[in-house]
Amino acid sequence: MATLKELSKQNELLTGGHRLCSGCGIPPIVRLVLRAAGGPVVATTATGCLEVGTTIYPYTAWRIPWIHSAFENAAATLSRIETAYRALTQKGKLPGGDKDIKFIAFGGDGGTYDIGLQALSGALERGHNFLYLCYDNGAYMNTGIQRSSATPFFSNTTTSPAGEVIPGKQEWRKDLTRIVAAHNIPYAAQASPHNWADLSRKAEKALRIQGPTFMNVMSPCPLGWYTKPEDSIKWAKLSVDTCYWPLYEIEDGILKITYKPKEKKPLEEWLKPQGRFKHLLKPENRNLLDKFQARVDLEWQRLLDLDGKRI
């Protein structure tokens, strides 16, 4: 794996000057993954924060071949690009077709967990050679902070408002990483931008492996989390240290936890600074906070029980 010094010397493939919000987790994630590719990259991006913030006409922040896909079909778009490249290379019709080009699709949780799941599932089943990376900020942040199936328990969003009758989103978040792994792909992983070494290593591995690979990355959103922009990486780290967002990988069916906190932090420490959970901190909602903590503990124990085993 490349060192941080070596990565810093590589060309910046996503420039500054884009319109993504201050403190957004997406830019450091994308920059690190593009650097980890270590060669030519072609990317597509589903409609969402990353697309809107980096390609306001007539400008672009991308220094690689890039295509904007609709909300629902980033995986389908990239699978056709990868297929066309492979076919033209085999026929000798593509100059420089011997280059080891990497193909990456980026999508948010709305465009991946929900709207884009069918296209992603189809591309995984067909076995295309690409990495799909989901930046998970826990809601449809680009269109008004509506709940997605990645939205955390009891989170306050514009379509799951916390009120006297219903205290935010009532459903547990979808376990997309495990759903993707059930397609029997060679590699799937969860990562976080606060741990650059873990994220970079997983991206390098995913892009080196032949066949479809997947990464689900925690992406702090000050706008939708109601947090301070300068604290985003801190809250990403705390999501991992509370075990709400475990870091693990599934390679050839074997699950491996890649980080185990020496001291598992109480979930309340991650929830407290986020405005979307302020209602949970009221004394009358202590039972909801306990329910949230119990579910996180259960999911973490399930993961521990699977560590090192074939799933």
Q: What confidence tens digit (pLDDT) does each residue in 220-266 have?
A: 999 999 999 999 999 999 999 999 999 999 999 999 999 999 999 99
Q: What confidence tens digit (pLDDT) does each residue in 62-94 have?
A: 999 999 999 999 999 999 999 999 999 889 888
Please check whether residue 74 is in contact with residue 116, taking contact to mean a CB–CB distance below 8 angstroms.
yes
Q: Which pair of structure tokens corresponds to residue 294?
A: 């119990």
Fold for domain 4-306? Rossmann fold (3.40.50)
Q: Is the pLDDT of residue 98 over 70?
A: no
Spans of all domains in the chain: 4-306
User: For the chain, where are the E strands, in sequence order?
Assistant: 41-45, 66-68, 102-108, 131-136, 187-191, 213-218, 248-251, 254-257
**100, burial (CB in 10 Å: exposed 0-12, middle 13-18, buried 19+):** exposed
**3, burial (CB in 10 Å: exposed 0-12, middle 13-18, buried 19+):** exposed
Q: What confidence tens digit (pLDDT) does each residue in 187-224 have?
A: 999 999 999 999 999 999 999 999 999 999 999 999 99
Q: Flag whether the pTM goes above 0.85.
A: yes
